[in-house]
Structure 1
Amino acid sequence: MLHLYRIRYFLLILIIAACGALWPGVQAALKVDNSLSAWFLPDDPALRAYHAFQQRFGNDEVVILAVHDAQPVLTPAYLRAFQSLTRELEALPDVAGVTGPGNTTLPGRGLFSAPRPLLTPTTTAADVRGALLTLPTLRQTLFTPDYTTARFLIRLRQLPDFDDRRGDLLAQVQRVVYRHFPKERAHLGGVGIVYAGLNALSQHDFGLFLGLGYVLMFGVLLLVYRNGLLLLYTLGIVGLATYVTLGVYGALGYRVNLLTVLLPIILILLGIMDSMHVINERNRLHTAGSPAREDALQALGNVFAPCLFTMLTTVAGFLALLSCPMAILRNFGVFAALGIALCLFFTFVLGVLLLPLAKAPARTAAATHVVAHRLVAFYTYLLARPRFYGGLSVLLTLLLAAGLPRLRSDTYTLGYLPTSHQVVRDHRAIEASWGPYMPLELLIEPRPGHTLADAAVVQATFAFTDSVQRLRGVGAVVGFLSLYQAGLEAQVGAKAGRLHASQGALRIVQQQLSRNYPNLTRQFIHEPTGTGRVTVSGRMLSARQLTATVDTVLGIARATLGPVARVRPAGYQPLYAGIVAYVTESQTNSLLLSFVLVFGLTWAFIRSFRLALLTVVPNLFPVLVLLGAMGWLGISLDTATASIASIVLSLCVDDTIHFVYSYQQQRRQGLAPAEARLTTIAHVGPTIVLTSLVLFLGYAVMTLGSLKTVQLFGLLTALAVAGAFYGELVIFPLVLKRFDPE
């Protein structure tokens, strides 16, 4: 530490220079991105298939607008507003097109008849009803049967920087919509709308937890130490670690998302833990008249080894997330690990700068002595009753283990938002007024010898549609067959169903579509590959529910379309449905890898297989608390909660390592096991109590967040910290006494 002390000003200059260089990265990192590129790895097969779908049919992030009123929306005021809204939306440079009552054209009756607009300046309600009376397929894409709701589909352009600009694009659309209709009558929905809501709340929670974390740290340090320099020391550790981590994060092109919004509070809490171990050791060493510099440097030297290895075990727990198949978890693990390593670095660099200048408060030393005396008394009481507390621990373990079979993997993106959020309210309003609207995209690929316009393929597709629409929660089904049906209805009205088997009639309709509706046709038919698109509208489901629905739909497709075409899911929903498998794999891989890494590092540090095993195994209890509580409370494993178990293991083993390190030192000095245990708890016990309290309160603060992922992460981690505290004060001493006897 003396060498580090001698170059302290050089290190300070390097830190200042690094902070200046990383400022652009910090600015970039603070932009929020919860897009698919943040969730999935670039080489993920499902993501590549999604991009291939977009190349064929364009951007599938369609904004659904439902305009609803208690009375039919066919009044002159509404009809004028529909037309002006459509014109203004189509004028936006990033809108690819709008499908709705404002620009719909009615097909002509003959092969060479030109289409005519549904709405003109003189159109009346009777005109609209009359025009759509013989065109039921077209009517159901525009209005509800009672005409109280009109629907618009707003297609956004496929842009290279679409993910970065999504929020701004949707804000433009919202401003245009709300200029024509009040919020209580115009409801916006779709995947992009949900993403935008998540982005806004992520940014809100990032600022909230950054502020709350510093307030918590400020309050705890002032309450405990009552020293401005010690407060500056800890603020410097976590502030610099957070700043540099975000600077590197942003410089590498990453943006804050649902998980990395948690980075500030994690770094704040772990930075506090490191600083408290150093400060408490300095206070313990201080005696009347002892030089402050020697006390500070000796304290830093004494805690360097255990702090280094607790940092490594914690980093190992976060790096275990690299085994997960999802980008959002991998990036979270990597940059949390970077921030934790930086916390340790700044703990010692700022320690040689500031600690020699800070006085050791006598009041804190006296309070620490009182806590140490009470912990020794508790240990003596506990170890005198091993059967009772051992039996209690076994009972708790069995009770928590009984919750494990109840665990389920699932993700419900809309459920991340508060029920009072505008996105959730609009979603409910659309489903209530229009019906199920979330799209499940299917690709219809005719088998060799068939084309989409073949009567056999068209008939099979209609049979598939009829069967799917009988499923619970399924709304309208539209696609290339809807174009054929609308074209046939324009020719023969109600007799259109009889012509599904007429190859001649289908050929005429196909020619009419290609000539009069080329843009609309391209949305549902990809001519180069002869692939058709069918969109099944359904309720917004969790990933597990969607997986089951997709399996059912594909089963119907095999039974109806199997002989003439191959059907496969496409678009966003297969990615969403695949999250269930990813989450399960992430939980299993990361927890196993975390255990192996933590145990290996602990063994390397302690150099005793038996003590390493005694250190790590009791710390599986907080993991059991976490998973058992999730099972009993019905909390699903999702993208946020799947990462907690490995993190909890690495966090909770830290205090045990400090205990075992001190215990080994006492044993080497010749103390018997019983005496060494009591001396150790008196030495490190007060810091363990204080850091556990800070961790519990810090993670409990996360329940104040807006995002459900943040709330659950905070709640579950706080429960695990409480379980770790019980394991540290009850289970670990019992195990240590049993397997390291006199």
Structure 2
Amino acid sequence: MHWLMESRASRWLMALVLLLTLVSAAGLTRMGLASDYRIFFDEDDSDLLRLEQMQDTYSTTDNVFIMIEPPADDGVYNADTLRLVHELTQALWRLPHVSRVDSLTNFPYSSADGDDILIEEFVYELDEITPERIAFIAAAAGQERDLVGNLVTADGRYTAINVTTRLPGLDNKAEVLAVTDGVDELVAVYQAANPGHHFYQTGVVEMNGAFFKAAKKDFVTLIPLMIVFVLISAGLILGSPAAAGAILVIVVLALCGSLGMAGWLGIRLSAPSVSAPIIMFTVIVASAIHILSYIKRQIAAGLPRHDAVLQSYQRNIKPITVSHLTTIVGFLAMNFSDSPPFRDLGNIVALGVLFSLLLTVTVLPQLLLRLRFSARTTATTRLFERMSRLSDWVIRRRRPVLWLMLPLALAIAALSPLNALNDDLIRYFDKSQTFRADSERIDAHFSGIYTIDYSLSASQQSGIFEPGFLRFLGQFDAWLLEQPEVVTTSSPLHRIKDLNRLMNGGDAAFYRLPADATTAAQQFLLYEMSLPFGRDVTHQVSFDKSAAKLTARLQNLSSLGLIAFEERAQGWLWQHQPATIEIYHSSPAVIFAHIGESNIISLLQGASLAFVVISIMLMLVFGSFYIGLLSLIPNLLPVAAAFGFWYCINGQISMGLAGVSAMAIGIIVDDTVHFIYQYINGLKRGLTPEDSVRETFSKTMGGIVISSLLLVAGFLLLSTSAFEKNAQMGMLTSITIVLALLFDLLLLPALVLSFLRRVPTSAARYFRKAEELQDAN
């Protein structure tokens, strides 16, 4: 190990690693935060392409939906509320990128005037809000199919304003924030002026803004907290602020190198991937603790600093290298994800761990040789002393431990397949997030962001006016309204029927489809020509009138519920869809349900491959198929048991949690490798299995406990994330690491005492060659 610290080659290697890190860190200028839900999908994703096809056929429906709750028992049909809605509607028109604003007051009410259609907004000017006009609006609005359930509740208790945007797409983050910040400012002004009214906001644009705000909040709060955590915990554990500073140097360099490299690769941070720095910090600190705690213990025993550093590296360099590599493999397995942000998360952390390995073998030893370590007793040394007592207890009770823990762990692990693979778009965000709270409140009275748009295409221009097309549209609309998940529907159907009524003297008996396509087309053209500016029908009808859109507004559903509804609707269409009509469907909620389901499956497949690769690595590390296989038990069982435990407390595996299995095994292998490696070393030196366990506990287990507790603390910090997927990932990973620590403390010693009482011949030869190579260096 002298070449790592004192040779000329070590200095050149350190300079090369630092140069690579600094060049990589220059890419930080290219790093940014993403704020568009489309980042969750590949550009060629079939579901995303179908959504874009929908948005090319009809005008965009990216929106902000504002629900207004008047004072209790007032309802919306009063002068104060109508004045508020009118003024806010006018103000919202003036925001950037707004293409349409729909509300109760500017609703285009249609009436007949001889052979003409008269269209007027319910409220043009504030002085129109008289008791007589209010009574008229209340009576007329309750009969308008396009209003009830969309912009006003049937009981008149709540109303809403829907703001449709058309973003240029040149700078998505700036455009989204221009809209959401503008809406927030306006709502704040009107809330202050109308304290009795309450405002709630949701919509696709608000969701995009929520993704950005959650990522930004985590980035500016959790990372500084993690830096403080590193300094305080390492300083307390090691009794040396300088040692904590050395760890911090490695962590910051690895962080800058990995994020900078991600910037060069064109990766942008998003709500899921912003957790990468937190995970990196945690993993790197836990790994460095093994080296530093051993140095601390040797110095406390009277060894000079130089010799303590040298011995620590001789003892720990191989298991630390292996643990870094297995962690990299675990996070690289996230590249199986169907969703880019989760691939980004895996790649950023893998890059960070790679930089950590390079810096740990080059820069860290040079720093440690220049630090002063106190020889006084600290929590670390006291913990090492207590480990010997635990080892005696485990040795005496190894059989009960083995026969109790294995069946219990297997029983809990057997529950893991019972977890439902499920996701919920609203619950991507923590309960403390305004977007989630508002969306859930709005869902109780309207439909939030959960919609499905069906595009029905005829075979010819103006084909939507054919009687057969309209009859089928009506049948499908009626079926949708019978479904318990559907709040309401919207399509051109009601307007076409109502136009026929108006053109027949307003006779309610004529609220039906026109007798022929020509009449329907002429009436609809007359209606279009009468509409005020900004109130066209392109959100429901294609330009050439060959396609119409039917939107089903749904209750907030989980991905399982949404997919079940989607499949039920598809089954109805297969039975009733005419051959002359082509239908496809999409919406942001639909594509998120699909990516959630496919991403869970793909991440579990990646985890399976990671298990195989890590298993092979362990067999190569120990030079023995038998030892590698045995070491899998304390690595795989905690992961399986953690998912079984998760079933008991939650029962659902979401898009973020599916990657925990690969990620966790890459991390927890670290401690297993340290234990088995030191145990085998003891056997090779002629110690009995019992004495080898005692020595391993005495020299290694304290570091394992400390590193595991640091990992748990770090991931628990992640569990406070504003992005619920990151929070759940942090919680489940913490549970996994706690279980892995219990296995390492109790089950692993029992396993090696029962099934590894001597070093296999192949492993003995392998370790002998490794030692010869190390002595040669």
Give your verdict on TM over 0.5: yes
Counterpart of 1:73 (choices 73, 76, 80) is: 76
Name the residue aligned to 1:156: 165
Q: Percent identity?
A: 21
The CA distance in 2 between the partners of 1:713 and 1:730, in whole Å, is 26
Q: Distance in 1 between matches of 2:467 and 2:131?
A: 37
Please say which of residues 398-407 and 106-115 is displaced more in the overlay: 106-115
Letter of the aligned partner of 2:718 in structure 1?
M
Quick check: 2:606–2:662 contact (8 Å CA) kept in 1? yes
> What is the match of residue 119 of structure 2?
115
Residue in 1 aligned with 2:712?
A: 696
Q: Secondary structure at the match of 1:137?
A: coil
Tell me what 2:525 maps to. 511
Closer, same or farther: CA 37–301 of 1 in aligned 2, 3 Å: farther
Q: Which residue of 2 aligns with 1:526?
A: 542
The 5 A counterparts of 1:76-155 are 76-107=79-110, 109=112, 112-113=116-117, 115-121=119-125, 122-123=127-128, 124=130, 126-127=132-133, 130=136, 133=140, 136-140=144-148, 141-155=150-164
Letter in 1 for 2:472: A
**1:534 aligned counterpart, secondary structure:** strand
Q: Which amino acid aligns with 1:237?
A: I
| 2:49 counterpart of 1:48 | yes
> Which deviates more, 517-526 or 289-298?
289-298
Is 1:499 paired with 2:531?
A: no
Cα 1:452/1:26, change in 2 over 3 Å = same
Instruction: Give the letter for the 2:62 counterpart.
Output: E
Distance 1:581 1:288, change over 3 A: closer
Matches within 5 A, 1:614-693: 614-693=630-709
1:306 aligns with 2:313: no
Partner of 2:765: none
Kindly state the Cα deviation for residue 480 of structure 1 after the two structures are TM-superposed: 2.5
Task: Report the residue type matching 1:64 in the other structure.
Answer: F
State whether structure 2 residue 656 is matched by structure 1 residue 613.
no
3-state SS, counterpart of residue 257 of structure 1: coil
Whether the aligned pair in 1 keeps the contact of 2:106 and 2:124 (CA below 8 Å) is no
- Whether 1:417 and 2:407 are equivalent positions in the alignment is no
Q: In 1, distance between residues paired with 2:722 and 2:698? A: 41
Provide, for residues 570-599 of structure 1, a one-character-per-residue CA deviation record: whole Å limited to 9, x for no partner: 121221221342243134212211101111
1:505, 1:187 → 2: CA distance? 42
**Do the aligned partners of 1:137 and 1:485 also contact (CA within 8 Å) in 2?**
no
C-alpha separation between the residues in 2 aligned to 1:505 and 1:34? 46
SS of equivalent to 1:192: helix
The alignment status of 1:191 with 2:201, answered yes or no, reads no
Contact 2:110 2:119 in 1 (8 A): yes
Bigger Cα displacement from structure 2, 1-10 vs 61-70:
1-10
Is the aligned partner of 1:324 residue 2:324? no
SS at 1:476's partner residue?
A: strand
Contact 2:106 2:121 in 1 (8 A): yes
Q: Please show how residues 231-242 of structure 1 align to structure 2 within 5 Å.
A: 231-242=244-255
- Secondary structure of 2:34's aligned partner: coil
Structure 2 Cα separation of the partners of residues 385 and 374 of structure 1: 17
Secondary structure, counterpart of 1:188 in structure 2: strand
Query: Hey, what does 1:270 align to over in structure 2?
Result: 283
Aligned partner of residue 152 in structure 1, secondary structure: strand
Tell me the residue number matched to 2:558.
542
1:654 offset after TM fit, Å?
A: 0.8
Alignment of 1:256 with 2:272, yes or no, is no
C-alpha distance in 2 between matches for 1:338 and 1:611: 29
Distance 2:555 2:289 in 1: 51
1:400 positional shift: 0.4
Write out aligned runs for 1:316-715 (5 A).
316-364=329-377, 371-434=383-446, 438-446=450-458, 451-492=463-504, 493=506, 494-517=508-531, 520-528=536-544, 530-715=546-731
- Is 1:175 aligned to residue 185 of structure 2? yes
Which moved further from structure 2: 712-721 or 492-501?
A: 492-501
* Structure 1 Cα separation of the partners of residues 289 and 637 of structure 2: 25
Letter of the 1:380 partner, please give it: D
Q: Please say if residues 2 and 297 of structure 1, whose CA atoms lie closer than 8 Å, have aligned partners that are also in contact.
A: yes
Shift of 1:533: 0.9
Give the counterpart letter for 1:395 in structure 2.
P
Indicate which of 204, 224, 227 corresponds to 1:211: 224
Structure 2 residue ranges without an equivalent (≥5): 759-777
Instruction: Provide closer, same or farther for how the CA distance between residues 499 and 705 of structure 1 changes in structure 2, counting only shifts above 3 A.
Output: closer
String of CA shifts for 1:143-197, please: whole Å, max 9, x gaps: 3344443332211114224642323321112323443455843322213323323
Give the alignment's Cα RMSD to 1 decimal: 3.1
CA displacement at 1:720 relative to structure 2: 0.9
Q: Which moved more, 1:510-519 or 1:269-278?
A: 510-519
| Distance (whole Å) between structure 1 residues aligned to residue 12 and residue 623 of structure 2 | 36
Letter in 1 for 2:685: Q
Equivalent pair of 2:238/2:296 in contact (CA under 8 Å): no
2:67 partner SS: strand
Distance 1:192 1:448 in 2: 34
Q: Deviations over 1:304-354 (max 9, x none)?
A: 222111100011011111122221221111111111111222223332332
Partner SS state of residue 143, structure 1:
coil
Return the letter of the residue paired with 1:104: F
Moved more, 255-264 or 569-578: 255-264
Instruction: Write the letter of the residue equivalent to 1:144.
Output: T
Q: Distance in 2 between matches of 1:630 and 1:496?
A: 59
Contact kept? 1:417, 1:707, Cα under 8 Å: yes
Tell me how far apart the structure 2 counterparts of residues 314 and 22 of structure 1 sit (CA, whole Å).
21
TM-aligned CA distance change 1:288 to 1:648, over 3 Å = closer
Describe the superposition over 1:346-390 as per-residue Cα deviations: whole angstroms up to 9, x where unpaired. Answer: 2233323321122343234x8666544543443333233333112
Cα distance in 2 for residues equivalent to 1:13 and 1:125: 82
1:620 positional shift: 0.9
Letter in 1 for 2:104: P
Secondary structure of 2:251's partner?
Answer: helix
* Alpha-carbon distance in structure 2 between the residues aligned to 1:49 and 1:578: 12
Asked if structure 2 preserves the Cα contact closer than 8 Å seen for 1:65 and 1:188, the reply is yes
CA distance in 2, matches of 1:661, 1:675: 15
* Corresponding residue SS for 1:363: coil
1:535 deviation in Å? 0.9
Query: What TM-score, normalized to structure 2?
Result: 0.87
CA contact (8 A) 1:274 1:344 kept: no
Distance 1:707 1:498 in 2: 48
- Structure 1 residues 604-653: Cα deviation after superposition (integer angstroms, max 9, x where no partner): 22211111111123211111221101111124111221111111111111
Q: Is the 8 A contact 1:700 1:714 kept in 2?
A: yes
**Partners of 1:538 and 1:498 in 2: how far apart?**
26
SS of structure 2 residue aligned to 1:60: coil
The 3-state SS of whatever aligns with 2:420 is coil
C-alpha displacement of 1:543: 1.0
The structure-2 alpha-carbon separation of the partners of 1:681 and 1:82, relative to structure 1 and needing over 3 Å to count, comes to closer
2:512 alignment partner, SS class: helix
Deviates more, 1:99-108 or 1:657-666: 99-108
Shift of 1:508: 2.3
